[in-house]
Amino acid sequence: MSDKDLSSAIRSIIEKEINKVSKLVPKEALNNIEKNLSPQIDQIIEKSGFVKKSKYQNLKDLVDDLEKRINQLEKD
């Protein structure tokens, strides 16, 4: 799941759950809540064993680079 998809899904769930309240609360307040909750939600997701696609790709690139370096060292 891409970062945008994950953020969109979480935002959709939050907006759905507080739909009635959102009519009384300004949209800026909801955006502020999202901004404050997003990092905490990301931490919860990572504690469950999942990572964002961008973080996964960065780690995969590091692993690939290290494997190439190890293979090169073994050849020498």
Tell me the H-state helices in 1-76: 3-17, 19-22, 27-47, 53-75
Question: Which tokens is 63 given?
Answer: 């692993």
Asked if 52 and 9 count as a contact pair (C-beta separation under 8 A), the reply is no
Q: What is the per-residue pLDDT for 27? A: 76
pLDDT digit string, tens, across residues 8-31: 788 788 777 777 676 777 778 778
Asked if 2 and 53 count as a contact pair (C-beta separation under 8 A), the reply is yes
CA neighbor of 32 nearest in space, from 13, 11, 52: 11
Q: What is the per-residue pLDDT for 62? A: 96
In percent, how much of the chain has pLDDT > 90? 24
Provide mean pLDDT across the span 48-58: 84
Is the confidence at residue 72, as pLDDT, over 90?
Answer: yes
